Amino acid sequence: MNLDELRRLNIREVGNWPTLPKVGLLAGLVLVIVALGAFFDWKDQYELLEKAQGEEVRLKEQYTTKKAKAVNYDLYVAQLKEVEQSFGALVKQLPNRSEIDALLTDINQAGLGRGLVFELFKPAVQEKMAEFYAELPINIRITGNYHDMGAFASDVAQLPRIVTLNDIVITNDKGGLALEAVAKTFRYLDDEEVAKQRAAQRAKDKEKAKK
Q: Write a three-state SS string for the chain.
A: CCHHHHHCCCHHHHHHCCHHHHHHHHHHHHHHHHHHHHHHHHHHHHHHHHHHHHHHHHHHHHHHHHHHHHHCHHHHHHHHHHHHHHHHHHHHCCCCHHHHHHHHHHHHHHHHCCCCEEEEEEECCCCEECCCEEEEEEEEEEEECHHHHHHHHHHHHCCCCCEEEEEEEEEEECCEEEEEEEEEEEEECCHHHHHHHHHHHHHHHHHHHHC
- 211 or 110, which is more confident? 110
How many Cβ atoms from other residues are within 10 Å of residue 148's Cβ? 19
pLDDT for residue 54: 84
Burial bucket for residue 42 (CB in 10 Å: 0-12, 13-18, 19+): middle
How do residues 121-131 score in pLDDT, each as one tens digit? 998 888 888 77
pLDDT for residue 3: 59
pLDDT for residue 209: 77
Give residue 174's region: left, alpha or beta (phi > 0; psi -120 to 50): left
pLDDT for residue 99: 78
Report how far residue 21's alpha carbon sits from residue 180's, in angstroms, rounded to the nearest whole number.
106
Among 183, 132, 176, residue whose Cα is nearest residue 153 = 183
As a whole number, mean pLDDT of residues 66-81 equals 77
pLDDT for residue 89: 63
pLDDT for residue 48: 77
Domain residue ranges in the chain: 1-71, 97-194
pLDDT for residue 42: 65
Percentage of the chain modeled with pLDDT above 70: 79
As a whole number, mean pLDDT of residues 115-143 equals 88
| CATH number given to 97-194 | 3.30.70.60
Percentage of the chain modeled with pLDDT above 90: 17
- Distance separating the N- and C-terminal Cα atoms of the chain: 80
Report how far residue 204's alpha carbon sits from residue 211's, in angstroms, rounded to the nearest whole number.
11
How do residues 143-173 score in pLDDT, each as one tens digit? 998 899 999 999 998 888 888 899 999 998 7
- How far is the CA of 157 from the CAs of 34, 109, 166, in angstroms? 83, 14, 12
